[in-house]
Structure 1
Amino acid sequence: MIGGPADPEDDEEQGRTQQGRLRPTSAGAITGWVVVGLVGGWALHPLAERFRDTAPIVTWAQPLALLLVTAILGATAYVTWRTVHVHHQRLDPHQAVNRLVLARACALVGALVAGGYFGYALSWVGVESELGEQRLWRSVIAGLAGVAIVISALLLERACRVRSDGDES
Structure 2
Amino acid sequence: MKAHRTPWWQPAIGLALGLAAGAGVAVLGERYGLTLIGAPWFVAALLVAIGILVLVLAINVHKYATTDPRKRPRTFVNPTLAFHTLVLAKALALAGAALAGWYFGQIIPSIGHMEAEFYASAVRECAVTGVICLADMIVGLVGEWLCQLPPNEGPENPKVRDAARERGVTPAAAKTAENRTCGR
Are 1:77 and 1:152, in contact at CA under 8 Å, matched by a contact in 2? Answer: no
Cα deviation, 1:53-105, whole Å, max 9, x if unaligned, reads 3333433222112111111112112222222224555x533222212111111
Are 1:104 and 1:154, in contact at CA under 8 Å, matched by a contact in 2? Answer: yes
Q: 1:121 aligns with which of 107, 117, 129?
A: 107
Output the CA distance in 1 between the equivalents of 2:36 and 2:134.
Answer: 23
Residue identity over aligned pairs, in percent, reads 25
Cα deviation, 1:35-61, whole Å, max 9, x if unaligned, reads 010001111112234456333343322
> Using a 3 Å threshold, how does the CA distance of structure 1 residues 53 and 92 change in structure 2: closer, same or farther?
closer
Q: Counterpart in 2 of 1:165?
A: 152
CA RMSD of aligned residues (A): 2.2
Which stretch shows the higher mean deviation, 61-70 or 105-114?
61-70
More helix by share: 2
Q: Counterpart in 2 of 1:38?
A: 19
Q: Counterpart in 2 of 1:78?
A: 59
Q: 1:152 aligns with which of 126, 139, 145?
A: 139
Q: Counterpart in 1 of 2:179?
A: none
Given the two structures, how large is their TM-score scaled by the length of structure 1?
Answer: 0.76
Cα deviation, 1:2-58, whole Å, max 9, x if unaligned, reads xxxxxxxxxxxxxxxxxx643311110010000010001111112234456333343
> Using a 3 Å threshold, how does the CA distance of structure 1 residues 87 and 120 change in structure 2: closer, same or farther?
farther
Q: 1:112 aligns with which of 82, 95, 98?
A: 98
> Using a 3 Å threshold, how does the CA distance of structure 1 residues 125 and 85 change in structure 2: closer, same or farther?
same
Task: Give 5+ residue unaligned stretches, structure 2.
Answer: 154-184
Which stretch shows the higher mean deviation, 59-68 or 137-146?
59-68
Given the two structures, how large is their TM-score scaled by the length of structure 2?
Answer: 0.70
Output the CA distance in 2 between the equivalents of 1:43 and 1:132.
Answer: 16
Q: Counterpart in 2 of 1:4?
A: none
Are 1:84 and 1:159, in contact at CA under 8 Å, matched by a contact in 2? Answer: no
Structure number with larger C-alpha Rg: 2
